[in-house]
């Protein structure tokens, strides 16, 4: 389980709700959350701000979710 998914579940959010709050397409969030796609700078920033965590907590050096 990636840190993004763990934080989403900890905060009692569905993927759909989180995507809506971040103004992201749910499929983008899903791919990033599962580590299947690199997150853009914009998506990384939104996720870090939303959860109040450093980028290094959510992403490895290649921008894939950890």
Using CB atoms within 10 A of its CB, is residue 65 exposed (0-12), middle (13-18) or buried (19+)? buried
How many Å apart are CA 1 and CA 24, to the nearest integer? Answer: 21
Q: How many CA atoms lie within 13 A of 38 on its CB side?
A: 6
What tens-digit pLDDT sequence spans the chain (66 residues)? 889 999 999 999 999 999 999 999 999 999 999 989 999 999 999 999 999 999 998 888 777 888
pLDDT value of position 21: 97
**At how many degrees (to 10) do helices 26-33 and 15-22 cross?**
110
């Amino acid at each position: 389980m990636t840190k993004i998914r763990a934080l989403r579940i900890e905060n009692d959010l569905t993927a759909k709700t989180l995507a809506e709050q971040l103004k992201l397409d749910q499929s983008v969030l899903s791919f990033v959350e599962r580590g299947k796609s690199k997150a853009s700078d914009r998506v990384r920033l939104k996720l870090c701000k939303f959860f109040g965590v450093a980028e290094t907590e959510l992403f490895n050096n290649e921008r894939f979710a950890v």
